[in-house]
């Protein structure tokens, strides 16, 4: 039940884009086409799931054990940066096809605040190892859902007659706001059943 | 002297990170539910950006080009930790409200962008001026955004009742959708004022 709550919470209720404001730079940066958005999504799901697990282990067995909690931010960002590099090398070695698809998106992920965000939030929520990994994966799926949906809207926006001053970021922001209202509907959906 | 002033004011007006460049958007949208939150977030960013620009500028001749990004990130992470712990000590309530967004200053694109694009190429004085200008520009746009949202969403400004009690606040303004819509219309308004008809970037 707890895992179901984490999964539905991560994907729909506390969606990283529409409710927690995490990972917005790539959300607007690579959402011009559904194809690139999908590529970025796969890379983010991969890295966020791994980062959740690795930072949990790091926090429990290194930082907490030696009373180094104040080093959390520095340790996490270094581990995430290294992890991204490592993942990039492994993918290149194991599957050049996948590397072709994800390659250009991977370096961008280091500065995606959703990755560091999920690592820090897992610790704040007090999740255990498995819960952290599930929460990382679910949040990443929620982020992907948001960016792919938005890329679909944006492809239409490109041809829509929009007043000149609204073109570009303003209309993208307002569209995101409207999608956020739609996702707001999920807030009450599971209240009382799961939480 | 004139060049120094231009470097400083560039971040506030021409290249305002939030309202002009539209980068590092997570924190501005998330913390502007109340003016006080936006203000303290701004103070934290002023400290981190100025200090990291200064240190990156001092280190620019000794840092090997290949590993400069990891080094910049460590520098930024160090100052972010200092800001995080200091804020926790002096403003525990605000710190709790800002939550994860204080440590997340470390991945804010503005800070790494200034380290890479400006501080690693300029001397200490100009780097500090650039950092201060950018961070003050960031803080001012946070205050504008937070003022609109708090006034319309809660009828208050920094906790003070502005509108009469009969005013029915639009709660949506302090909820996530309000953040996106407010910033969208703010940017559109600026485009009208400056006579700029094309978006800064993107479609």
DSSP for B44-104? HHHHHHHHHHHHHHHHTTTS-GGGHHHHHHHHHHHHHHHHHHHHHHH-HHHHHHHGGGTGG
B171 touches chain A (CB under 8 A): no
> Do B184 and A178 lie within an 8 Å CB cutoff?
no
Q: Are B44 and B109 in contact (CB under 8 A)?
A: no
Read off the pLDDT band of A120 (50, 70, 90).
very high
* Residue among A120, A164, A173 minimizing CB distance to B103: A120
- B35-47: per-residue pLDDT in tens? 999 999 999 999 9
Read off the pLDDT band of A97 (50, 70, 90).
confident
Q: Which residues of A touch B23 (CB under 8 A)?
A: 25
Mean pLDDT along residues B6-26? 88
* Across A138-142, B22-26, B32-36, least confident range: B22-26
B179 touches chain A (CB under 8 A): yes
How much is the pTM? Answer: 0.90
Question: What angle separates helix B35-59 from helix B68-90, to the nearest 10 degrees?
Answer: 140
- What is the sign, positive or negative, of the torsion defined by CA atoms of B176, A52, A48, B52? positive
* Residue among B25, B179, B200 minimizing CB distance to A25: B25
- B85-115: per-residue pLDDT in tens? 999 999 999 999 998 999 999 988 889 889 9
* The pLDDT of residue B142: 95
B188 touches chain A (CB under 8 A): yes
Q: Which residues of B touch A116 (CB under 8 A)?
A: 103-104, 106-107
* The pLDDT of residue A36: 82
Q: Which residues of A touch B73 (CB under 8 A)?
A: 77-78, 81
Integer Cα distance of A172 and A147 in angstroms: 12
Of residues B158, B156, B199, B148, the one with CA closest to residue B178: B148
| ipTM rounded to 2 decimals | 0.88
> Do B104 and A124 lie within an 8 Å CB cutoff?
no
* The pLDDT of residue A39: 82
How many beta carbons lie within 10 A of that of residue B166, not counting itself? Answer: 6
Q: Are A151 and A37 in contact (CB under 8 A)?
A: yes
Residue B160 φ then ψ, to 5°: -90, 135
- B119-136: per-residue pLDDT in tens? 999 999 999 999 999 999
**CA quadruple A43, A119, B114, B66: dihedral, nearest 10:** -60
> Do A78 and B29 lie within an 8 Å CB cutoff?
no
Q: What stretch of H or E contains A98?
A: helix A96-102
* Residue among A124, A165, A168 minimizing CB distance to B200: A168
Integer Cα distance of A55 and A59 in angstroms: 6
B195 touches chain A (CB under 8 A): no
Burial class (CB in 10 A: 0-12, 13-18, 19+), A1: exposed
Q: What is the DSSP letter of B160?
A: E
Conformation bin of residue B79: beta by default, left when phi > 0, alpha when psi is -120 to 50: alpha
B18 touches chain A (CB under 8 A): no
pLDDT score of A181 more than 50: yes
Shortest alpha-carbon distance between residue A33 and chain B (Å): 11
* The pLDDT of residue A4: 87
Q: Which two tokens stand for residue B91?
A: 């403003």
Burial class (CB in 10 A: 0-12, 13-18, 19+), B26: buried
Q: Are B139 and B45 in contact (CB under 8 A)?
A: yes
Q: Which two tokens stand for residue B16?
A: 């305002």
Integer Cα distance of A187 and B5 in angstroms: 48
* Residue among B25, B77, B203 minimizing CB distance to A154: B203
Percent of chain B with pLDDT over 90: 63
């Amino acid at each position: 039940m707890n895992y179901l709550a984490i999964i539905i919470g991560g994907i729909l209720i506390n969606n990283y884009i529409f409710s927690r404001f995490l990972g917005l730079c790539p959300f607007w940066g690579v959402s011009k086409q559904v194809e690139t958005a999908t590529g970025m999504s796969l890379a983010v799901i991969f890295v966020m799931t791994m980062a959740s697990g690795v930072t949990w282990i790091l926090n429990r067995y290194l930082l907490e054990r030696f009373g180094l909690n104040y080093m959390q931010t520095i340790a996490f960002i270094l581990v995430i940066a290294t992890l991204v590099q490592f993942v990039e090398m492994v993918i290149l070695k194991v599957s050049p096809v996948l590397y072709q698809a994800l390659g250009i998106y991977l370096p961008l992920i280091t500065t995606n605040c959703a990755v560091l965000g999920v690592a820090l939030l897992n610790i704040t929520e007090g999740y255990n190892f498995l819960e952290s990994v599930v929460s990382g994966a679910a949040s990443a799926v929620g982020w992907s859902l948001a960016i792919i949906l938005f890329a679909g809207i944006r492809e239409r926006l490109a041809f829509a007659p929009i007043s000149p001053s609204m073109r570009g970021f303003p209309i993208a922001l307002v569209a995101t706001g409207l999608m956020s209202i739609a996702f707001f509907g999920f807030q009450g959906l599971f209240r009382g059943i799961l939480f | 002297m004139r060049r120094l002033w231009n470097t400083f004011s560039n971040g506030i007006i021409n290249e305002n990170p939030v309202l002009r460049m539209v980068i590092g958007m997570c924190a501005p949208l998330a913390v502007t539910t109340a003016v006080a939150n936006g203000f303290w977030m701004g103070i934290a960013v002023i400290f981190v950006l100025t200090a990291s620009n200064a240190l990156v500028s001092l280190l620019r001749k000794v840092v090997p080009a290949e590993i400069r990004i990891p080094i910049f990130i460590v520098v930024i992470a160090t100052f972010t930790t200092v800001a995080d712990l200091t804020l926790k000590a002096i403003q525990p309530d605000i710190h709790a409200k800002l939550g994860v967004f204080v440590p997340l200053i470390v991945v804010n694109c503005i800070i790494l962008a200034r380290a890479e694009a400006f501080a690693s190429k300029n001397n200490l004085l100009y780097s500090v001026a650039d950092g201060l200008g950018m961070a003050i520009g960031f803080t001012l746009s946070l205050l504008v955004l937070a003022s609109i949202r708090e006034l319309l969403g809660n009828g208050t400004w920094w906790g003070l009742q502005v509108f009469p009690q009969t005013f029915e606040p639009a709660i949506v303004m302090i909820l996530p959708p309000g953040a996106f819509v407010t910033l969208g219309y703010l940017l559109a308004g600026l485009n009208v004022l400056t006579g700029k008809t094309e978006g800064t970037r993107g479609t």
